[in-house]
Amino acid sequence: MKFKVLFLFLFISLGSVFAWCPQNEKEAKEYLTKNIQELDPIEGLYHVENIVEVYTPYTGREIVTENLVCSITRAHKEDFFLIQGLKGNIEGTIGVVEKMGDMHKYSLLRGTRNGSVKKNIFEFTDLFSFEIISSNSYRGASSKTTTRYIKKFPTLDMYKDISASKSSSFEKSSGTGFFLNKDGYIVTNYHVVENAIDGNIKVTSINGDNNKSFSVKVLVTDKQNDLAILKISDTNFTPLLNIPYTFKFNTSSIGEDCFVLGYPLISSMGKDIKLTNGIISSRTGYDGNVAQYQTSAPVQAGNSGAPLFDKEGNIIGVIKAKHSIAENAGYAVKASYIRNLIDLLPTPITLPEHNILKGKTLPQQVELASKAVCIIIVNGE
């Protein structure tokens, strides 16, 4: 019995993002070579082995193996990707891969024989292969599909060359951080500091002063929840007089007012602190992640690591990402996960216990809180 999977063409209101995708291997290689420095790890030209094991009470068990070539390429500048069949029994767009909030995790959306859309979550940590397994059963019949994707292009040598090139270029980047206590312990996202070369990390804009910067070192990290605690190691640093906010570790409710203080896009928006506000949209984050909130407060690149406050001036989370398609959908790691990371510090620290922001107007809260929110510069001069 010839088993053939029919894929649903997934419009999902994506509009013009489907305007281009490679139609053959040559076009795919040209795109991948031209954009290799900016490629997401998932992008590439793949050999795909599709093993379909079907069982029915009438025909027994049958295994059909299909081989094809496909490309996975970014849909314009968005954080999702199109799988395009280029050679084999299936040609054309056969699925959509979306990048998830957690590092290395992706979701695959593809059509099924009955016209519905199937979603598979997978991790892509190997850089050159991943596997999707799905099963179905109905009235005594069953099927199991194992699809192995093996990347053939760009080659390993090409990635090594570009990695060496990036290391030598000392790419400069920035994010936001905020103080845990007055002695120079700072929280930010792990992804803000993970690419620091030889520990080249500095902080500035403490107390709003952009003329002074201080060296910091990374003490502990939580890659899974994208958090890091830093400590100012510069002997010229003078401890802050106080920390104006406290931390709220209980989960906030949907609909609560909140605001973000951070330093987005400093190359074009400048080094003045930026305020955005909104509400808690959900008590779970991307793809239902219970470690995160979803908030309607707008965030941009550079807001990573910024504090998320409730209306009383308590820090309730750490901004980590925004949704690339949805409007005003940002994600923050809940403050309780900061507490878990604090427990791993080599030296115990005490968190602030007095909240001087409570009861004040929003402008007053911003003026006071901004003194303990800083810019983090990675690989700067």
Secondary structure of residue 302 in the 3-state scheme: coil
pLDDT for 102 equals 62
pLDDT for 9 equals 37
Sign of the dihedral defined by the CA atoms of residues 264, 267, 270, 271, in that order: positive
Domain holding 124: CATH number?
A: 2.40.128
- Residues in a beta bridge with 302: none
The sheet with strand 141-153 has its strands ordered as 117-123, 105-111, 92-99, 80-87, 60-74, 44-56, 141-153, 129-138
pLDDT for 312 equals 96
Q: Are residues 258 and 346 in the same domain?
A: yes
> Given 161, 185, 220, which residue is the final one in a domain?
161
Does 8 map to a domain? no
Does 5 map to a domain? no
Q: Would you state the structure tokens that stand for residue 282, as one six-digit string?
A: 């959900």
**Per residue of the chain (381 residues), what is the pLDDT tens digit?**
333 333 333 333 333 344 467 888 999 999 898 888 888 888 999 999 989 999 988 888 899 898 889 999 987 656 688 888 887 766 677 788 887 766 678 888 876 656 567 788 888 876 788 888 888 888 888 888 898 999 999 988 887 776 665 554 457 899 999 999 999 999 999 999 998 988 899 999 999 899 999 999 999 999 999 999 999 999 999 999 999 999 999 999 999 999 999 999 998 999 999 999 999 999 999 989 999 999 999 999 999 999 999 999 999 999 999 987 888 899 999 999 999 999 999 999 999 999 999 999 999 999 999 999 999 999 987
Which residues, 6+ apart, have CB-to-CB distance to 166 below 8 Å?
37
Does 3 map to a domain? no
> Given 161, 191, 206, which residue is the final one in a domain?
161
Q: Are residues 182 and 152 in the same domain?
A: no
> Given 131, 161, 191, which residue is the final one in a domain?
161
Domain holding 318: CATH number?
A: 2.40.10.120
Q: Are residues 207 and 263 in the same domain?
A: yes
Size of the chain in residues: 381
Q: Are residues 237 and 363 in the same domain?
A: yes
Q: Are residues 127 and 188 in the same domain?
A: no
Q: Are residues 42 and 154 in the same domain?
A: yes
d(CA 188, CA 205): 15
Does 217 map to a domain? yes
Does 266 map to a domain? yes
Other beta carbons within 10 angstroms of residue 242's beta carbon come to 14
d(CA 261, CA 223): 23
pLDDT for 90 equals 66
Q: Name the domain count of the chain.
A: 2
Taking each continuous run of H as one helix and of E as one strand, the counts in the chain are 6, 21
Residues of the domain holding 219: 173-378
